[in-house]
Structure 1
Amino acid sequence: MEVAHWFVLNNCDEIMGYLYEHEEMMKREHPSHLVAQKHRELFPQWFLDSVNKLKSSNSPTYSDELYNLAFGPIRAELFLGCNVNSVKFLGEARDEKLCTQNSGVHVPGGGESTDIDFYGKLTTVVQLLYKDRYQVIMFKCRWFDTNPNRPGSAKIDHGLLSVNMNRTWYDDDPYILANMATQIVYLDDPKAGSGWNVVQKMDHRNVYAIPELDPTDNDVNNVADQRLKSSMENDAETLRDTNVIQEPFQIQGVSSIEIPIQSITIDLVGPSNDDDVVIKEAEEEEEEDWETESDDSDDNESYYSSDDE
């Protein structure tokens, strides 16, 4: 939870100023080789203290969202997969039982690694639950080593990228926000040998790009509705309804996620009581807080239904 929460903090625009201020403080107080370590260790508590000061002084920059984020997650729930932007992602263990692939993940490089793309496989969907029902959906992934400076990690042959699935990295920092992921598939590379797979990007069926129109222009809206209706009728598949989960901290894209019921729940009683951890497997039968949806797909599954109404 601490590693996942640290990733959330570093990808939340609202607190970039706090991160910069604390990092500069660490540079003044510690040797250069300890700055990154101390920054990561000390920032969460310093950030919470700073937000508490804003609250006590009735600062206009204080908000409940900011406080809940600084307080940190109070519980984490683990799932086998979820739907993000109409694309189904499944964990690697679930994928191995199927004849299709839904676990391949691609994320463009950022920060100091803008020239490196990251390729991996989803292992677990993690839902961080904060105070006041705020939540963040994250992917825990197994990342393959694509560092171009390391031989035997990745190669390009005739324009095709192959990765060595026996070489991994970022094992201690495996998390990304769910909306960062782009789905890919891996194909065996017989030329490179065992353990090598070709990365293949693809377009998804039943994903419609609906243009934004002027709501006051009735003629244009009617034409667009007719085109969309015709497109959906011609497709044999049926679009699945989306269960909306409350959007956390205004992180774009996280709200439209469906999560299957098969899960393991980790309950933490208070953020300071780390010893009282109860792990339980969720039953796949119908329960009070869950509802079952069905569609025309081959595998009907149960999905999490938010009760935030």
Structure 2
Amino acid sequence: MYLKDVETVFNRPQRNHDGGMRNEKLSVFAQSARPFGDPGRGESFSRNDMEVAHWFVLNNCDKIMAYLYEHEEMMKREHPSHLVAQKHHELFPQWFLDSVNKLKSSNSPTYSDELYNLAFGPIRAELFSGCNVNDVKFLGVARDDKLCTQNSGVRVPGGGESTDIDFYGKLTTVVQLLYKDRYQVIMFKCRWFDTNPNRPGSVKINHGLLSVNMNRTWYDDDPYILANMATQIVYLDDPKAGSGWNVVQKMDHRNVYAIPELDPTDNDVDNVADQCLESSMENDAETLRDTNSITIDLGDLPRYDVAVGPSNDDVVIEEAEEEEEEEDWEIESDDSDDNESYYSSDDE
């Protein structure tokens, strides 16, 4: 998470910035993602893979939705209904490039270099085994399976005609599509599990927990998403459901917080901050009230209370108050002179 008012490597102004209007990139070119690591052996990226990935990029760039709609309506007028989707997929990339070239030749204000580079298409692709997306580390499954941690689980909310179906899968390869003028798009190639609730044997819900069948895959011919679409999840074995079934566990990352944006001109900003602080203090007090104490008796040694909170990660030891009066620890001796010399700091 990056705060818009805090300077980081991602929002720091250029050294030679002259203060003019900033040339904003298209959303697909402005992802906060950094790929790393070599891909696993046997990973390849064909020309067909390039076309499928680029088609997904085109369909998920807000700036060209009008072009997509215009071309689809054209295809409906020129082709039978059962061929519209196929022709739209096949002919749109070239039609889009021709349309952008016309904007450039006519000096249209809607033309931009980013739009042209997107229409021109990727010139090559690079593969990686991992990627950091908004401070969250993802690893390809081939690398992830060698570790005791899990960073390959991916969840994407449903979209289009499947708005009420979430997609669950595992990251296999990180793909960086390279366009002209050093523009790039980071994509995830995933193995998606069948989560269609209308098909038996795809998902199970037991006591509010969702289990997916990892033996059944979905969208094998369309495995790509933009990297910033992914939410990380963890899969846990579901022995009750049987082999191949895993429970989906959503997670919150440590040190990543959703801080609400406040209007500095609002007079109630201080009140909101005070309310947040009071709420935090109330939560801490509630945690202390729920804490159980276990007394450990160590005989003659001072007794301690061990506070066992809701989590066993941290154990707080507090010294207990003595119920009896403190014992006299002075050393007694039959020889009073020895005692006096023991406590005396001056030699006589």
Q: TM-score, normalised by structure 1?
A: 0.69
1:73/1:203 Cα in 2 relative to 1: closer, same or farther (>3 Å)? same
* 1:115 aligned counterpart, secondary structure: coil
Aligned equivalents of 1:304, 1:57: Cα separation in 2:
102
Deviation of the 1:257 alpha carbon: 47
Contact residue 290 and residue 310 of structure 2 kept, 8 A: no
Mapping of 1:48-67 within 5 angstroms? 48-67=97-116
Could you tell me which residue of structure 1 aligns to residue 332 of structure 2? 293
Contact residue 154 and residue 161 of structure 1 kept, 8 A: yes
- Per-residue deviation, residues 129-149 of structure 1 (Å, max 9, x unmatched): 111111111111000001111
Residue ranges of structure 2 left out of the alignment (5+ in a row): 1-49
298-307 or 144-153: which moved more? 298-307
* 1:234 aligned counterpart, secondary structure: helix
Contact residue 215 and residue 244 of structure 2 kept, 8 A: yes
Aligned equivalents of 1:280, 1:112: Cα separation in 2:
58
Could you tell me which residue of structure 2 aligns to residue 272 of structure 1? 311
Residue ranges of structure 1 left out of the alignment (5+ in a row): 244-255
Aligned equivalents of 1:99, 1:144: Cα separation in 2:
22
* 2:170 aligned counterpart, secondary structure: strand
1:278/1:31 Cα in 2 relative to 1: closer, same or farther (>3 Å)? farther
Aligned equivalents of 1:77, 1:263: Cα separation in 2:
69
Contact residue 125 and residue 177 of structure 2 kept, 8 A: yes
- Per-residue deviation, residues 160-195 of structure 1 (Å, max 9, x unmatched): 111000000100000111111110000000011100
Contact residue 291 and residue 309 of structure 2 kept, 8 A: no
Aligned equivalents of 2:70, 2:221: Cα separation in 1:
25
Tell me which of 283, 287, 296 is aligned to 1:259: 296
Deviation of the 1:4 alpha carbon: 0.7
1:126/1:230 Cα in 2 relative to 1: closer, same or farther (>3 Å)? farther
Task: Extract structure 1 runs of 4+ deviating beyond 2 A.
Answer: 208-243, 256-264, 267-273, 275-309
1:90/1:50 Cα in 2 relative to 1: closer, same or farther (>3 Å)? same
Aligned equivalents of 1:231, 1:147: Cα separation in 2:
41
Deviation of the 1:294 alpha carbon: 63
- Per-residue deviation, residues 11-39 of structure 1 (Å, max 9, x unmatched): 11110011001001111111111110110
Deviation of the 1:71 alpha carbon: 0.2
Aligned equivalents of 1:174, 1:134: Cα separation in 2:
22
Which entry has the higher C-alpha Rg, 1 or 2?
A: 2
1:272/1:298 Cα in 2 relative to 1: closer, same or farther (>3 Å)? farther
Aligned equivalents of 2:101, 2:170: Cα separation in 1:
39
* 2:69 aligned counterpart, secondary structure: helix
Q: Greater relative contact order (Cα 8 A, min sep 6): structure 1 or 2?
A: 1
Could you tell me which residue of structure 2 aligns to residue 138 of structure 1? 187
Aligned equivalents of 2:297, 2:278: Cα separation in 1:
28
275-284 or 43-52: which moved more? 275-284
Contact residue 291 and residue 303 of structure 1 kept, 8 A: no
1:126/1:286 Cα in 2 relative to 1: closer, same or farther (>3 Å)? farther
Deviation of the 1:208 alpha carbon: 3.1
1:238/1:90 Cα in 2 relative to 1: closer, same or farther (>3 Å)? farther
Contact residue 127 and residue 173 of structure 2 kept, 8 A: yes
Contact residue 9 and residue 15 of structure 1 kept, 8 A: yes
1:75/1:157 Cα in 2 relative to 1: closer, same or farther (>3 Å)? same
Contact residue 125 and residue 139 of structure 1 kept, 8 A: yes
1:127/1:270 Cα in 2 relative to 1: closer, same or farther (>3 Å)? farther
Could you tell me which residue of structure 2 aligns to residue 227 of structure 1? 276
Is residue 64 of structure 2 the alignment partner of residue 25 of structure 1?
A: no
Contact residue 73 and residue 271 of structure 1 kept, 8 A: no
Q: Quick one: percent identity of the two aligned structures?
A: 93
Deviation of the 1:292 alpha carbon: 63
Contact residue 191 and residue 217 of structure 2 kept, 8 A: yes
1:239/1:189 Cα in 2 relative to 1: closer, same or farther (>3 Å)? same
1:45/1:271 Cα in 2 relative to 1: closer, same or farther (>3 Å)? farther
Q: Count matched residues.
A: 294
Mapping of 1:234-249 within 5 angstroms? none
